Structure 1
Amino acid sequence: MFDRLFGRKQALEASELPVIRNVTLGRTVMLDPLAWRRFGSDLLFPFDRDTLVIVAQGLVDLNEGGFVHRFYTDDDIMFQAVSNDRQGQDVTDVTVFAPWDSAYPSSSAERPAWKSRLSARSFTAEGLPDYRRVWFGDEASEQDPVTFWEELHDDRDGIVDRRIFQTCMLFGRDLPGDGRELLLAIDQESEAGEVSFEIMLGVALELGEFRA
């Protein structure tokens, strides 16, 4: 009964849950806070600690030879690595995101307006400056958002505990010096049909700026 209620899928071998540069569910990630503190008050990224205790792990298959590996804390900080392979041996990009805002639409009529914001050349929200579209560049006035399913694990038994369908776009703004702050805008829907609009702010990390 519980498998039907919570959408648990067929178990994989526990060893198949990817370990990315020693980061995986159940471990603690140590970050170098100088990666973002050097930007001082110019950065709005709402995060100021150097450890992440990973309590959930997500995997996205981009169906184009790429994979997104996501690692979550109990307060929804997201450590993300992009790789060219499922096991994460060839990592091309690492970021850490923190929640900025979350909203729950009262009707389906709100979703087209949110998708229009995700498709636009720039994105802003209350309390934030403008962020320009990063994915696909900002030459076009509109660009379809990226869509995918994320499979989430709450423990290392290899079972997919839940799946979330996401429509999202990445934006960014330049900071003084060589920095950039990222904004990830998401429309997410659970298999049960629960919908939320999420805004997360983040920064990119070099491979030497974290360890587990």
Structure 2
Amino acid sequence: MFRKLFGRGGRSEADPLPVVRNVTIGRSVRLDPLAWRRLGGGARFRIDTDVLAVVAQGLIETADGFVHRFYTEDDVMLQMVSPDRAGAGAEDFTLFTPWSSAYPPDAAAKRRWIDRLRARTFTDEGLPEYRRFWFGEADERQDPVSFWESVYDDRQMSSARRIYQTCMLFARDLPDEGRELLLALEMEPEGGDLTHEVMVGIPLHTGEFEA
């Protein structure tokens, strides 16, 4: 399924920037702190606020729908998946915070990173082991998914930052309750430098955030 999930689709210039579950640029999202406090002391997910001020919005078109991303100045990311561009059927809500970011020094480092994304498990400095969530663990190696994201800084969509990404999602079950996620990405903005990013996240229920 994930081989065809992400595409390179465009958009109509007449389409407005989606407002998904009342979330868009310039609005605040209130979080229920129980969403991460229930995870217990073993969780690596950390966030020091329960209010997200959205300053940028990303849109990814997939073969089956759309991925909507909402960013704060600190690069906290609220993500929603929807079968429609407007986000009326949004589901699968996740919240990610940055863990690490690095510029690969050479082509060899870039190859090693992609090899890490293909593996069954992933870890990073200061993190435990996470197991591949997309595709399952049956295959020893699995290619990551790649896609373009258009990121907007204003609701008029006056300009877009286009970022090509290759990523894999990993997860681990926690002893108390719930699941912690790890998103490992290679990101290359048009006209910018390629970076390797790690984000730690949690799933959100519909009642755990509002705008």
Give 1:47 deviation, angstroms: 1.1
Query: 2: CA distance between counterparts of 1:155 and 1:10?
Result: 17
TM-superposition CA deviations, 1:56-78 (whole Å, max 9, x none) = 0000011x122110000001000
- Gaps in structure 1 of 5+ consecutive residues: 1-8
**1:151 is paired with a residue of what secondary structure?**
strand
Task: Give the structure 2 partner of residue 52 of structure 1.
Answer: 52
Equivalent residues of 1:102, 1:198 under 8 A apart: yes
Please tell me the residue identity of whatever aligns with 2:74. Answer: D
Equivalences for residues 66-105 of structure 1 within 5 A: 66-105=65-104
8 Å CA contact 2:76–2:97 kept in 1: the answer is yes
How far apart are the structure 2 equivalents of 1:144 and 1:40? 32
Query: Does the 8 A contact of 2:171 with 2:182 survive in 1?
Result: yes
User: Could you say which residue in structure 1 is the equivalent of 2:29?
Assistant: 29
State how far apart, in whole Å, the 2-side matches of 1:37 and 1:49 are: 12
Partner of 1:125: 124
**Matching residue of 1:149:** 148
* CA contact 1:173–1:181 (8 Å) conserved in 2: yes
SS of 1:81's partner is strand
SS state of the match for residue 109, structure 1?
helix
1:168-210: CA deviations, max 9, x gaps? 0000000124400000000000111410000000000001110
Report the structure, 1 or 2, having the larger helix content. 1
Structure 2 residue ranges without an equivalent (≥5)? 1-9
Question: In the alignment, which residue of structure 2 is the partner of 1:194?
Answer: 193
Distance 1:193 1:49, change over 3 A: closer
Native 8 Å contact 1:11 1:160 kept in 2: no
C-alpha distance in structure 2 between counterparts of 1:138 and 1:49, whole Å = 34
Matched, 1:209 2:208: yes
Alpha-carbon distance between aligned partners in 2 of 1:181 and 1:194, rounded to the nearest angstrom = 29
Aligned residue for 2:25, secondary structure, equals coil
Instruction: For 2:206 and 2:67, locate their aligned partners in 1 and report how far apart those are by CA, in whole Å.
Output: 16
Structure 1 segments, 4+ long, off by >4 Å, are none
Q: Between the two proteins, what is the percent identity of the paired residues? A: 56
Alignment partner, residue 108 of structure 1 = 107
Q: Which residue of 2 aligns with 1:4?
A: none
Distance 2:117 2:192 in 1: 20
Measure the CA separation in 2 of the matches of 1:136 and 1:74.
32
Counterpart-to-counterpart distance in 2, 1:153 and 1:85: 19
Once residues 10 and 90 of structure 1 are traced to their aligned partners in structure 2, the CA distance between those partners, rounded to angstroms, is 19
Q: What amino acid is aligned across from residue 86 of structure 1 in structure 2?
A: R
1:5 maps to which residue?
A: none
Residue 181 in structure 1 maps to residue 180 in structure 2: yes
Residues 1:139 and 1:160: Cα distance change in structure 2 (over 3 Å): farther
More divergent stretch after superposition (154-163 vs 32-41): 154-163
The answer to whether the 8 A contact 2:40-2:177 is kept is no
Amino acid paired to 2:61: D
Identify the residue that residue 20 of structure 1 maps to in structure 2.
20
Indicate the RMSD between aligned Cα atoms, in angstroms: 1.6
CA deviation vs aligned residue, 1:140-194 (integer Å, no higher than 9, x gap): 1111101000001000112342100000000000012440000000000011141
